[in-house]
Chain A
Amino acid sequence: MIVKRLLLFIPLVLVLLLLQSFFWVPTYENQAAGNPNRLVTYIEASSGDAKILNPILNADSASSGIVNQVFEGLLDLDENLDLRGRLATDWQIFERAYLVVNPYHRFPDGTEVTGARLFQKIHAAWKTGTDEGLKNYVQSLELLPAIQREETVSLLLPSKEGRPQLKDVRVTVDVLERVAFTLSQVDQDLFDRLKPILGEQYFEHFPYEEMIRPQEDLTKEIEQALREKFPEILPVGEHNPTIVLHLREGVTFQDGHEFDAGDVKFTYEAIMNPKNLSPRTPDFEPIKTVEIVDKYTVKIIYKRLYSPAINAWTMGILPEHLLNDVALTREKQERGLSEDAQESFGMRDSQFNRHPIGSGRFQFVEWQGDEFIHLERFDTYWEGPAQYQDYFMRIIPELFTQEVEFRTGAIDFYGAQPHQVDRYKNDSTYQWFSSLGFAYTYIGYNNRKPLFADADIRKALGMAINVDEIIQYLMYEEGERTTGPYPKNTEWYDPSIQPLPYDPQEAQVIFHDAGWHKNEDGWLEKDGKIFQFNLITNNGNPIRKNLMIIAQNAWKKIGVKVNTQVFEWAVFLGDFVNTGDFDAVVLGWSMGIDPDLYQIWHSSQAGPQQLNFMGYTSQRADELIVRIRQEYNRDRQRQLTHELHRLIHEDQPYTFLYAPLSTRVLDKKIVLVQAGADGKEEYKKIYPMKSGDHTFLFHQWRKLEFTPDF
């Protein structure tokens, strides 16, 4: 019967056909052995795909990994975490400051304030006064005539449904006569120094209403919102820190076009263009103007004191000629979009974001969504080409399969978990580096809740948790204790502050003193209520989930009842963190290099949708935070941050647990290749920099055919 035979035959033939393909596939060993290119190819695994390859638009870690290779910033951080020139060679920071005539104010001697008189008095104080700061920093003075300008102000109106709405208002601003200062360095106390001459009240009672006039009739609500913006629109005393950057000459983008000051200005404008919805806007918003002085010099003037602002220039610079209006117009016409789409077409829609061209060490080749991104070496990079020829990022979502691929040599790097790292440490084919990053993990208490209002209670909760044991067993020593809000490897962190001891007995005593007594079930009770709260965290992070369980267990032992819940990230943020409707969370922060803690710790940032969601309030901390972000002198900044660190440590709004080490496991065959004295290649073991970063010399990495003896 033919049918009968076919029924047997077809499946068998099919299976044989499929299985024979096995013999065509190279085994892992053959892949490495018969393929010299593999030695100059670097393959890393990422669990998620990149979203958008554009330095001003990306916000996820996979994209920024690629973007950092393709694009280059004006500056970057060197091995000691200091700024170093890349596309810029060097830079100077100085200040321009302005003081507006306050017409309703009288000087301490009773005379009316006019431009000429103001200038004269300040000039006298500068030349003959006793204030050292004024004498040393001020370089020149000038009296500017009154002008009138127009501008658009964006206001955020609270709406009844809870979502704030945006409203743009045109205003006319009368700027009276101003005294302009040029200072050799930024001085946040300049106007305080002038107060003895001007009178203490000079900066108050400024008649904003007369100077700032909206061009249309406004509702009460909008007027109120505008009123709150007055000091921003027309500051009485205005600091304009200024940076002049000298750019590197002769650098080209990967398409051969030369890099110049126009690209810097363009990048800034692209970020601030509201159409582009750049997540970098907040970093660049303090900028007033970017001026092109000449082809290789730009001058950046800031609206106000904000010392971390310069760090923003480590961001990659875009090529103007590929993304300006002309280029975008050409692209949208070529793509034949409808009129609506052409209307809204912006940089976000450009194909550039999937085929980026920058001036970094590697240039883009190919991107297969959710599969891989391929870069290759940019041979005419200004500092010389990298050792690796190809750079791949493979997207492998499961940690298990990442590990399988890593062990077989099909990838060179993946984000190994602490328990995996522990295994590789004992394996002689691998080398590993552990280094501190800018992150830390904490348990945060909602300081608004009466249960956590007392710093002693928060301290007692922290003392019940054995952090050293967590670091030893959960993290396999891949973490270090931390005591405050700054990254441990920056100078802002005060290493002299001692962490909370693990002392459950003492914790119980503190509870006892606060009136909490154990009831018959073993729970702490006060006024008929037991000490009970919800501890939540986000899903997808097994270590946080485990921390949550460990904390729950530790607290159970001292009589604190904790319910634990895990929520998906979007829900976690939307329903709990942003609304402030939670008791305690296990979370982590990834900080920047700068010491600015305004968003996370300032009491003004404790509203809904804001980042001080723990509701931490401390008047002294607020003062320190503001002073730190306005201070341009590193030594003074360090003193302030140490004070702030100690203050927060004493208040214990969080239980600071540990700073995780970022650990990289690599094949031992990957080494640093450097040119020796005799022109021959020299191999060195990869080593971490002082800052803990071992990828700093990535461009010198290469894989050898043999395992070197070091």
Chain B
Amino acid sequence: MWNFILRNIGQRLILLIIVSFVAHSFIHLAPGEPSEVDPMNPRMKPEDIAKIRAAFHLDDPLHVQYAYWIRDLASGELKSFKDSQPVLPKIWDRFLNSLPLFILATILVWTWAFPAGIYGAVFRGGVYDRGTVFLSYALISVPGFFLSYLAILWVVGWFGVPVISIKTFGLEHAEPAYKMMDRVWHLVIPSVMAAIGGIAVLSRYVRSQMLEVLSQDYVRTARAKGLDEDTVIYGHALGNALLPFVTMFGLLLPGLIGGSVIFEQIFAWPGLGRLAYEAILARDFPIIMTLNFIAAVLTLAGTLLSDILYAVVDPRIRLH
């Protein structure tokens, strides 16, 4: 077991270094310059631009720039090109903003996808099943921003209630309960928008897992014993059908970064996705690189976690 984990961590570390170096080279070699090197400022002289480039180490060879980046990241003193603020606290702030959205969207996905999928499987071919199949495909077939625009138009137009940003403006002096509920309300629509795709996909997955389990021999045996249908489905089949999903917890991790650029953009949500998007536009290399790195770490940690969980819940798998 420990051997397995250690070897996996080793493999992933190597992969991480390769991935980050490739990403670093790609980002630096792609056309475009950091927006601080502002050649459209009519007064900027070539001398000034050369100075800025030197300060950002942009003229050094790629591997040297990579070394600078690793060194600064390790010491926690990596600075954004854009405003010279330390990168890590900046990312942490945005992470805290994104977190509630992510958590709520995930909870919505998991609490809704399971009942939807299970009932679909239980009443396979029925009206309910066909209806949910159609509905879930309909929901993932709408472009996300199209649906969000419609939702905003509807909620603002009919109810006259603010939905943009993470809280209502000018509510600083309200009671704490109101302030909290206000924040919850602002979470609702963006997280529902972000969850829709997940619900549709996951419920299809749950449904097919459930169908597979229901066709197994032991379910037939249970039925033959004369157990009532509910006991068969919820007592015997469900647990086995759910096993594979435990492993998916690990795979959720990377979704923390850049899961919802479009929704953050529309709902003016100051989250990580937007930070990344703005950084790409401004060619703010330290931010892009660090977010990329964190995404890679989360990804690799997530797959590791899911491998381990898989091994733990499914005794048929041997770690070797």
**Contact status A18-B156, CB under 8 Å:** no
B residues within 8 A CB of A4? Answer: 230, 234
In the complex the two chains form, is A570's CB within 8 Å of B35's CB?
yes
Please tell me if the beta carbons of A21 and B185 are within 8 angstroms of each other in the complex. Answer: yes
A3 close to B268 (CB less than 8 A):
no
Kindly identify which residue among A1, A10, A279, A401 contacts B38, using a CB–CB cutoff of 8 Å: A279
Q: A392 to chain B: which residues have CB within 8 Å?
A: 169
Contacts of A395 in B (CB 8 A): 268, 270
| Residues on the B chain within 8 Å of A401, using CB | 152, 164, 266-268
How many Å from the CB of A647 to the closest CB on chain B? 20
B104: chain A residues within 8 A (beta carbon): 18
Chain A 385-428 per-residue mask, 1 if CB under 8 angstroms from chain B, else 0: 00000001011111011001100101000000000000000000
Q: Are A164 and B46 in contact (CB under 8 A)?
A: yes
Q: In the complex, are the beta carbons of A21 and B182 less than 8 A apart?
A: yes
Which chain B residues lie closer than 8 Å to A348 at the CB level? 84
Q: Is the CB of A371 within 8 A of B171?
A: no
Determine if A573 is an interface residue (Cβ-Cβ < 8 Å): yes
When the two chains form their complex, are residues A408 and B160 in contact, meaning their CB atoms are under 8 A apart? Answer: yes
A166-B166 in contact (CB<8A): no
B178 near A24 with CB under 8 A, answer yes
Q: A18-B188, A27-B159, A43-B169 are in contact. Are A574 and B55 (CB under 8 A)?
A: no
- The distance from the CB of A283 to the nearest CB of chain B, in whole angstroms, is 6
Task: Report Cα–Cα, A13/B275, bound state, in Å.
Answer: 33
The interface residues of chain B, by DSSP majority, are classed as: helix
Tell me whether B46 and A277 are in contact (CB under 8 A). Answer: no
A398 to B277, CA, bound (A): 14
A341–B46 CB distance below 8 A: no
B217 within 8 A of A: no
Q: Which of B107, B164, B274 is A14 in contact with, Cβ under 8 Å? A: B107
Interface residues in A315-373 by Cβ distance below 8 A to B read: 337-338, 340-341, 348-349, 353-354, 368-372
Q: Which residues of B contact A400 (CB under 8 A)?
A: 149, 152, 266
Give residues of chain B (46-64) contacting chain A, Cβ–Cβ below 8 Å: 46-55, 59
Known: A281-B48, A353-B83. A59 touches B38 (CB 8 A): yes
Name B108-166 residues within 8 Å CB distance of A: 108, 111-112, 114-115, 118, 149, 152-153, 156, 159-162, 164-166
Q: Does B75 contact A (CB under 8 A)?
A: yes
Interface residues of B in 257-301 (CB under 8 A from A): 265-268, 270, 274-275, 278, 281, 283
Chain A residues near B52 (CB, 8 Å)? Answer: 277
- From B39, B75, B164, B231, contact of A573 by CB (8 A): B39
B31 with A578: CB separation less than 8 A: no
Cβ of B42 and Cβ of A599 under 8 Å apart?
A: yes
**Closest A-chain residue to B90, C-beta based?**
A369
CB distance from A675 to the nearest CB of B (A): 28
Q: Which residues of chain B have C-beta atoms less than 8 A from A14's C-beta?
A: 107-108, 111
Q: How far is the CB of A232 from chain B (nearest CB, A)?
A: 12
Give the shortest distance, in Å, between A219 (CB) and chain B (any CB). Answer: 18
Contact B115 A37 (CB under 8 A): no
Q: Are A21 and B114 in contact (CB under 8 A)?
A: no
**Bound-complex Cα distance A25 to B52 (A):** 48
Within 8 A of B (CB), among A275-314: 277, 279, 281-283, 285
A371 touches B166 (CB 8 A): yes
Q: CB-nearest residue of chain B relative to A348?
A: B84
Contact mask for chain A residues 589-614; partner B; CB cutoff 8 A; 1 contact, 0 none: 00010000001100000000111000
Query: Is A31 at the interface (CB under 8 A from chain B)?
Result: yes
B184 interfacial contact with A, CB 8 Å: yes
Q: Roughly how many angstroms separate A10 CA and B238 CA in the complex, as a whole number?
A: 17
> How far does the Cβ of B183 sit from chain A's closest Cβ, in whole Å?
8
B160: chain A residues at CB < 8 Å are 27-29, 408
Q: A27-B161, A570-B31 are in contact. Are A37 and B170 (CB under 8 A)?
A: yes
Query: In the complex the two chains form, is B184's CB within 8 Å of A21's CB?
Result: yes
Instruction: Tell me which residues across on chain B come within 8 A of A611, comparing CB atoms.
Output: 39-40, 42
Does A147 sit at the interface, judged by CB under 8 A?
no
Q: Give the docked Cα–Cα distance between A519 and B46 (Å).
A: 46
Question: CB-CB < 8 A to A28: which residues of B?
Answer: 160-162
Given A21-B181, A277-B51, A599-B43: A1 in contact with B93 (beta carbons within 8 A): no
Q: Is the Cβ of B35 less than 8 Å from the Cβ of A26?
A: no
- Does any Cβ of A come within 8 Å of B82's Cβ? yes
B:84-108 near A, CB below 8 Å: 84-85, 90, 93-94, 104, 107-108
Contacts of B243 in A (CB 8 A): none
- The answer to whether B41 touches A279 (Cβ under 8 A) is yes
> Which listed residue, B47, B82, B283, touches A154 by the CB 8 Å rule?
B47
A7 touches B43 (CB 8 A): no
Question: Assuming A164-B46, A166-B47, A573-B32, what are 18 further A-B pairs, CB within 8 angstroms?
Answer: A1-B230, A3-B234, A11-B115, A14-B107, A21-B182, A31-B168, A37-B170, A156-B47, A277-B48, A277-B52, A354-B85, A369-B275, A371-B270, A569-B32, A569-B281, A571-B32, A575-B31, A611-B42
Some 28 contacts from A to B, beta carbons below 8 A apart, are A3-B238, A20-B181, A24-B178, A24-B185, A25-B168, A31-B162, A31-B170, A38-B170, A51-B82, A52-B82, A163-B59, A165-B59, A282-B43, A338-B77, A354-B85, A371-B268, A392-B169, A397-B274, A398-B265, A400-B149, A401-B268, A404-B152, A404-B164, A568-B32, A573-B32, A573-B40, A577-B39, A611-B42
* Interface residues in chain A, defined as those with a beta carbon under 8 Å from any beta carbon in chain B: 1, 3-4, 7-8, 10-11, 14, 18-22, 24-29, 31, 35, 37-38, 41, 43, 48-49, 51-52, 59, 154, 156, 163-166, 274, 277, 279, 281-283, 285, 337-338, 340-341, 348-349, 353-354, 368-372, 392, 394-398, 400-401, 404-405, 408, 410, 568-571, 573-575, 577-578, 592, 599-600, 609-611
Top 7 nearest A-B pairs (CB, nearest first) are A570-B32, A24-B181, A282-B43, A370-B270, A21-B185, A21-B184, A348-B84
